[in-house]
Amino acid sequence: MDKSEKIQEILQDYSLQQIEKEIIRFHESSFDAENISYLLEMRKNIIDHNILQHQELILPDIVAFNEALRDALRTTYEKARLVFEANKALGEDVEIDARCFFAHEYPTLHPVQHVDCEELWSALCEPCWNHQYKWGVGYCFNPNESFNDFVGMNSTLKVYNDNWNYGLDEKLTKDLHLIRQFSDLFLRTNFAITDFIYCRDFYHKIKAQIIIND
């Protein structure tokens, strides 16, 4: 059994399929958000528990996703700084709301591909059901922060780590230099780790608010 087949076996467990069918059914009928949040959390816990017993299978995908996430957040950060610089000349306080999100389409690299994947992905990306995702995969902008500050990789910060691998095998992942937003997705959202490590496409939302003081 190759790597992809083993991951498919884990992710197509019968109990998981039943949970996912319920999530899709509730999503299609706009059912109560708390029920879906509970099911998303249950699904995440099962997948993470099972897949993390075979972390070596997903290690290359963790590395590739971390790099893709870093690149996407750098784009968000740079676009936000451009908007800030363009508006600060107005002489008033400028607040920038800059967020980065996963693309709406289900990841084509995911080893499991079937007709219901798009609907499941849509449910996972609903902020009212996956609460922490309302901020996207990364939220900024502080004009006094560098990009390394933003991703938690500046050694002068009080909260600093050169590898945000909490919850993963420390020995196996010790040299990966995972950024803070990877840890946030893994620990704080209802995405299972196999939901996001195959994502390579993102989009950005950036808004400027001009504060006018009387």
Burial classification of residue 42, based on how many CB atoms lie within 10 Å of its CB (0-12 exposed, 13-18 middle, 19 or more buried) = middle
> In the prediction, which pLDDT does 86 show?
86
- State the DSSP code for 184: H
Q: Do residues 75 and 140 lie in contact, with contact meaning Cβ atoms separated by under 8 Å? A: no
91 to each of 24, 94, 206, how far by Cα in Å? Answer: 49, 9, 20
112-123 pLDDT, tens digit per residue, is 999 899 999 999
- Residue ranges of the chain with pLDDT lower than 50? none
Locate the domains of the chain by residue range.
3-211
Angle between helices 3-11 and 55-88 (to 10 degrees): 80
Q: Identify any residues that bridge with 206 across adjacent strands, giving them in sequence order.
A: 98
Distance CA 183, CA 163 (A): 9
